[in-house]
Amino acid sequence: MAPQNIVILGGGVGGTLTANLLARKLTRKQATITVIDRTGRHAYQTGWLYVPFGGAPPEKLERSERRLLHRMVELVVGEVARIDAQGHVIEMVGGEWLPYDYLVVATGAQLVPDVIPGFAEGAYHFYSAEAALRLHAALREFKGGKIIVGAAGLPYKCPQAPLEFAFLLDDYLRKQGMRDLSQIVYTYPLESVYPSEGVSDFAAPLLAERCIATELNFTPAAVDPQLRKLTATNGRSLEYDLLVMVPPHRGAAVIVASGLGDGQGWIATDRETLQSKQYDNVYALGDAADVPVNKSGAAAHFEAHVVANGWLHRFAVSNRPISTMVR
């Protein structure tokens, strides 16, 4: 029997862990496992939150993807142009075609600041290494005033990040002797400060205790960089001296280009098995999937176990009892 050809798109937490979990249980006679990653570098994205406050620089938060993968896993560094789910092939930028029997989509999310007029020119964020460094420079130049911190919309990666940033900013300004010269306003597109009621009930009093004002049900519609004004979809507007806002998120461009996603580029995924609802030989996990859980590294970590165990269970390629599932 020919080896099953498993291709995993994305070398983030979900893709890397899925590849390694499968590699530990399979032999080369049973399967070939290939990870396709755009850069070949694995970034600890959580660390970008601390870069604006003088934390470890982005280059210290990266590792070679090859060093993180099991020796059985092949790494292809390159950009995917399109997924032909009916033909079971991946088209790479440059024209190369890679066939697969089973596909795991762990392509993460893309930032789309241009969805909101003026956002790219008027707002800072920490959702990429470059943006975190720009925000670091802006905070070093900040001499006091009104800082707005918030999220442009849902969903986005690491839901707790804007809350964490607000608290870190409060601490940073106090240490710099500028808290009395500054006002922090936390905006959120829901009626609460966080999607989870438990977290919201815990965090809201802490914001008030630190004199961080809140503007809820506030979904940004436009940014005016000249007037330094943020306007919401309901017409409310806030002036600012510094705007730190989680940018809008969408599914990866290749998902949209391949017709595999919904209107925002998320893959319709069975919440129990993480299989695509369109193609039973395609799995999606992490930010790429539309399942109702946080888009975070922690979620991707646990989802990788679901995908790996589901694959081993369903196809029984290892010819081992289910008690040997990966853990």
pLDDT in tens, 250-283: 999 999 999 999 999 999 999 999 999 999 999 9
Sign of CA dihedral 164, 170, 174, 176: positive
Burial letters for 261-282: b for 16+ Cβ neighbours within 10 Å, e otherwise? Answer: beebbbbebeeebbbbeebebb
Supply the mean pLDDT for the chain: 94
Closest CA to 275 of 248, 314, 244, 218: 314
pLDDT bracket for residue 156 (50, 70, 90): very high
Token pair of 242, please?
Answer: 């510094």
Q: Report the pLDDT averaged over residues 98-102.
A: 96
User: How far is it, in rounded angstroms, from Cα 241 to Cα 123?
Assistant: 10
User: How far is it, in rounded angstroms, from Cα 315 to Cα 318?
Assistant: 8
Whether the pLDDT of residue 83 is over 80: the answer is yes
Selected residue with higher pLDDT from 141 and 320: 141
Is the CB of residue 42 less than 8 Å from the CB of residue 129? no
| Chain center to CA of 226 | 30
pLDDT bracket for residue 311 (50, 70, 90): confident
- The identity of residue 251, as a single letter, is G
Determine whether 215 is exposed, middle or buried from the number of CB atoms within 10 Å of its CB (0-12, 13-18, 19+).
Answer: middle
Model's pTM, two decimal places?
Answer: 0.92
In the block, residue with structure tokens 């597109």: 189
pLDDT bracket for residue 326 (50, 70, 90): low
Whether the pLDDT of residue 320 is over 50: the answer is no
Q: What is the CATH number of domain 4-110+250-324?
A: 3.50.50.60
4-110+250-324 and 113-247 share one fold:
yes
HSE-CB for 31 with a 13 A CA cutoff: 29
Q: Report the pLDDT averaged over residues 16-29.
A: 95
The residue ranges of every structural domain in the chain are 4-110+250-324, 113-247
pLDDT bracket for residue 313 (50, 70, 90): confident
Is the CB of residue 226 less than 8 Å from the CB of residue 125? no
Q: Would you call 194 helix, strand, or coil by DSSP?
A: coil
Which pLDDT tens digit goes with each residue over 107-130?
999 999 999 999 999 999 999 999
Report the top-level CATH class of 113-247. alpha beta
Res 319: pLDDT: 53
